[in-house]
Amino acid sequence: MIKALVFDAYGTLFDVHSVGKECNEVFPSKGDAISQSWRKKQLEYFFLRQLMQRYKPFDDITKDALNYACKENGAELSKENEKRLMDAYLKLDLFEEVETVLQQLSQKKLVVFSNGSKNMIDPLVEQSNIQLSIDLVISADEIKQYKPTPAAYNHALEKLELKREEILFMSSNPWDITGAKSFGFHTAWINRKDLVYEELNIQPDTVYSDLSGIMEWIEKT
C-alpha cells in the first residue's frame, strides 16, 4: 500500500525554464539559450561533483552553472543580474496541473524530495500555491549526497519512517527515476517532453505525460 507520494521538485512540480522570462528581460534574444544551458550545466555540475567527491550546495552549483551559461552565450553577467536571476529561481512556475492534482491527494502524505539546498527549495515551495498541501520537504543537502546516489534515497526513507514499497516516487528526470527504482521505490516517470527512456535496464513502474496520471495509484490503494 502506498503511504507517501514523493515528488521531485525541479522539472516535476516546477518548470525550471519559466526562469527564461527573466533571462530574456536581462539578456534580450539570448534568454532562452541561457535558460537551456543553465539547466544543462546545473545537472552536469552536481553529477561531476558527486563523482569527484567535491560537494557543493545546490545554490552554489546553480550560480556556477548560470555564470557558465552566460559566458557560453556571450552575455556579461553583472553581480546585480546574477542576484536577479538567482532570485528568479526561488519563484519558478508550477506546471499547470500540479495544484489541482495535489489538492486531490490530501489523504496521503505528500513530500517534496529535491537536490535543491534548503535555502532554495524551502522558499520555492513556500511561495507557491501548493504550500498547504505539502507535509514535508526533504533536501539531499541534509546529508550532502545528491540523487541518484542510494544514500540520498535512503535519507528520504529514514525521514519518512516507511518501507520502500510504501513510497511512490515521481520525477520528470529519467536519471532520478532510475536511481529511485534501483533503490526500491515504486516509481512514476512524468515524461513531460515525450522523451525516450534511458537504456539502463531499470524501468519505471509507470509513465505519465503529467501528474494527473498518478490518480490511478490512489484509486487502487
Q: Answer left, alpha or beta for residue 115, where phi above 0 means left and psi between -120 and 50 means alpha.
A: alpha
Determine which helix (DSSP H) or strand (DSSP E) holds 187, and give its type and residue range: strand 186-190
pLDDT digits (tens, 9 = 90+) for 186-213: 999 999 999 999 999 999 999 999 999 9
Domain 4-14+92-219 classified CATH 1.10.1740.10?
Answer: no
> Where are the chain's structural domains?
4-14+92-219, 16-91
8 is catalytic: yes
Q: What is the mean pLDDT of the chain?
A: 96
* Predicted model pTM: 0.95
The topology (CATH level 3) of 16-91 is: DNA polymerase; domain 1 (1.10.150)
- 8, 15, 141, 176: which one is catalytic? 8
How many whole angstroms separate alpha carbon 17 and alpha carbon 204? 25
